[in-house]
Amino acid sequence: MNNIQRIIIVGIILVGVGIYLYSNSRVLDQKGGFSTTTENYPLAKETETIELENGDSYNLTASIVRKTINSQEVKMLAYNGSIPGPLIKVPQGAEITLNFKNDIDVDSTIHSHGIRVENKFDGVPDVTQKAAKQGESFTYKLKFPDVGIFWYHPHVREDYAQELGLYGNFLVTPPQKDYWAEVDREEVLFLDDILIENGKIAPFSKSIVDHALMGRFGNVMLINGSDNYKLNIKQGERVRFYITNAANTRVFNFSIPNIRMKLVGGDNGKYEREEWVDSVVIGPSERAVVEIWSEENGEYQIVHKTPDKTYDIGMIAVEEYPVTVSYFLIARTNQDLIDSLNPLRALFSKNPDKTLNLTIDMMGGMMGNQQGGHMMPDGSMMGGNMMMGDSNEKIEWEDDMSMMNTMFTNKTLKWKLVDDATQKENMGIDWQFKKGDKVKIKIFNDPDSDHPMQHPIHIHGQRFLVVSTNGIQNQNLVWKDTVLVQNGDTVELLVEMDNPGDWLIHCHIPEHMESGMMSKFEVL
């Protein structure tokens, strides 16, 4: 099929989809959407850092605020009145109580992302708890077994609530002083984007999730909730950044040109070996820990660089100051982590215990939610890979078909996790493991599906190593809870099943999760 034929087919399908949506009243009904008014809501305030010790309690409230973005005042959601929510610092091994209250306009929970919590406090509605309705509360008891940067966010209508600002970090500090290299200061950065239309945040429906094809890309870039982020540091000052990608779907390629940058950690702690890098690719919900150092004063842009475009997303101002010599210029080898992983290395080459395929049903979702089957049962108009043609792009950096993306909802398509052995999909998958199992999971992102794109796959309650990508063994390991599986790639994970309970595995693009791309597994 040539490109002209493909475009004609896509056009015909779009017309058919439009007619179908209109005739079945499945278009986004703005009258049934969330309010966008900012009247009578308080201004968002600065983010606080809260240091808690073992046994402490802390109150966390989700509420509606107003905030200025892109020179316009918009309605947003906040934890304790700030975007991001409070930075909660706790020592490794501590156990705290988090008293959550929901004061926003949708049901909510707290999911402590990446933390191996007790199952009943994982914050998943209808799996581990009932969602808190407006005015209701829920108490979480959280223990922090791992060092690193983690985050908290809702697990109900994330496409809306997280997009509007409900996210915050946990920073778990190590007992040993040399776990990380010595630095002069630490900074926490949330990368995000938001979609602004006509001076307001693009509307959301209460009943359906739109932008289900590619996820909701924003057109305004944010760092720590601001579109004009600036950090002042001193010449020669060593700075460690803990970076989290809170965007719904955008992959960030984080860089600070003309400043040396060292990658030292990921989702759940440090790498085996620190590496000098020019940039770091961070998928939705992934984290990266980097350290910077500049001998020269001046202004340096923080950028997000794609193959086609470079965004200035923030700025670092380095003021003149006497430079001191430091061992920061040495990329360390973390022998303690290497030694701790040695008993697992023999398992890296074993055959996969489970295989997941990532794919999509573009048209079947319209009928499948009630009856099963496709809109066009013989599939004669569907073709193969109709959305992407013969593209070899590994990452979709932008929404380059926004009309189609907006049109498709969680009612009109179906994103899929498919168990290769049983062909069961999504919540029909019924994996069971035992505590202590070391499970190798192979994930294949089908490049011949109707719309191949990257997927950040998140596993709840456990941690894993990415042992290989496309058959090439990973030479620098870090414990993770989310992996960005790019278009056409096959990744192999070794998962430590150490935490009993019912847990989720899902795509962390919320529009994809709401469109089915989620399954459950049990650790006995």
CA distances from 103 to 40, 66, 107, 126, 510 (A): 14, 14, 9, 20, 21
Retrieve residue 492's tokens.
Answer: 């192999």
Q: Three-state SS for 494? A: strand
395: nearest Cα among 282, 507, 294? 282
| Beta carbons of 293 and 238 less than 8 angstroms apart | yes
Q: Three-state SS for 115? A: coil
Q: Which helix (H) or strand (E) holds 184?
A: none
Rounded to an integer, what distance in angstroms lies between the CA atom of residue 221 and that of residue 89? Answer: 26
Q: What is the pLDDT along the chain (524 residues), one digit of tens a residue?
A: 455 545 555 555 555 555 444 434 334 444 589 999 988 999 999 999 999 999 999 999 999 999 999 999 999 999 999 999 999 999 999 999 999 999 999 999 999 999 999 999 999 999 999 999 999 999 999 999 999 999 999 999 999 999 999 999 999 999 999 999 999 999 999 999 999 998 899 999 999 999 999 999 999 999 999 999 999 999 988 999 999 999 999 999 999 999 999 999 999 999 999 999 999 999 999 999 999 988 889 999 999 999 999 999 999 999 988 776 555 568 999 999 999 999 999 999 999 999 999 999 986 555 444 333 323 323 333 333 444 433 458 999 999 888 889 999 999 999 999 999 999 999 999 999 999 999 999 999 999 999 999 999 999 999 999 999 999 999 999 999 999 999 999 999 999 999 999 999 999 999 999 999 999 999 99
Rounded to an integer, what distance in angstroms lies between the CA atom of residue 284 and that of residue 263? Answer: 18
Domain 49-145+156-166 has CATH 2.60.40.420: yes
Taking residue 136's Cβ as centre, other Cβ atoms within 10 Å add up to: 14
Fold classification of 185-337 is: Immunoglobulin-like (2.60.40)
Q: Three-state SS for 460? A: coil
- Where do you find CATH 2.60.40.420 in the chain? 3-27+346-523, 49-145+156-166, 185-337
Burial of 306 (0-12, 13-18, 19+ CB in 10 A): middle
Domain 3-27+346-523 has CATH 3.40.50.720: no
E runs forming strands in 95-251:
95-102, 111-113, 137-143, 148-153, 168-173, 185-194, 196-197, 200-201, 220-223, 230-234, 239-245
Look at the block and give the residue holding tokens 């791992």: 146
Rounded to an integer, what distance in angstroms lies between the CA atom of residue 215 and that of residue 463? Answer: 26
| Beta carbons of 180 and 174 less than 8 angstroms apart | yes
Instruction: Please give the model's pTM, rounded to 2 decimal places.
Output: 0.91
